[in-house]
Amino acid sequence: MVHRFQKEYFEEYARLAMEDIFPITLRHRENPDLICKDRSIGIEVTRDISPYEGQCYAVFQREYNGDNEFEQMQAMAGKINPKFMGTLSNIDNVIAWNNSQLSGILEKVQETIKCIKNKIWKLKSYEQCTNNCLFIFSDHVSTPNDFRRVINNIDVDITFDKIFIFAMVILFEYNTKTKLYKEYNTTEEQRKTYQKRALQFQDSINEI
């Protein structure tokens, strides 16, 4: 079954992944979405979806009833725009766009670059921490070369201290101070745990 994921899901998933990979403890708040108690780290969480994808997600949110299987979700996407037919993929029950089939719709990483630049512009209005970080769930970045291409094509000053991009199975990290790149692989077991707990968190918020 393909679940309907909301803002709270992605923020909790990011928290779980970051705490699992790094020796930190985060709590939820707004602007930034995650923060350490001592304000040593603040993390803004977002997604790099395009207007086309936004259309699809809006339909999924409106029409999803808990019983739609992946094939039905693909059909919904195809009704919005025939170019979307066959471009969806499903990894760990998370819907993503198959970039190899999207070349005619958008340049592969442009939405990621736009997303980062938009968050850079908004950062000045957020509570400032010792280290201000950006965590992006990406449907467009899938390889180290994609990630480097994103960073190298940002034509404004990157005011975040670190940028993390979660590309389905790999967490990419760029330190803007040291200019160093790192990557962290996640296992299927880890991702299933993150997903289960993030869905539980999302449901608990919706019940309030």
122 and 170 part of one domain:
yes
pLDDT band at 1 (very low <50, low <70, confident <90, very high): very low
pLDDT at residue 106 in the model = 43
User: Range with the lowest mean pLDDT among 17-21, 72-76, 125-129, 160-164?
Assistant: 72-76
Q: Which amino acid is at 151?
A: I
| Shared-domain flag, residues 160 and 94 | no
Question: So what's the pLDDT on residue 207?
Answer: 75
- Strand pairing of 170-175 and 180-185? antiparallel
Domain count across the chain: 2
Cα 169 to chain centroid distance, Å, stands at 12
112 and 75 inside one domain: no
2: its two tokens: 């393909």
144 lies in a domain?
A: yes
pLDDT in tens, 76-109: 666 666 655 555 555 555 555 554 444 433 467 8
My answer on whether 14 and 112 are in the same domain is: yes
Ranges 1-5, 50-54, 173-177, 201-205, most confident = 173-177
Q: Does 64 share its domain with 163?
A: no
CATH (domain of 25): 3.40.1350
Per the structure, the complete domain to which residue 73 belongs is given by: 51-100
- The Cα–Cα gap between 66 and 78 comes to 20
Same domain, 31 and 89: no
Q: What's the pTM value of the predicted model, to 2 decimals? A: 0.80
pLDDT score, position 206: 77
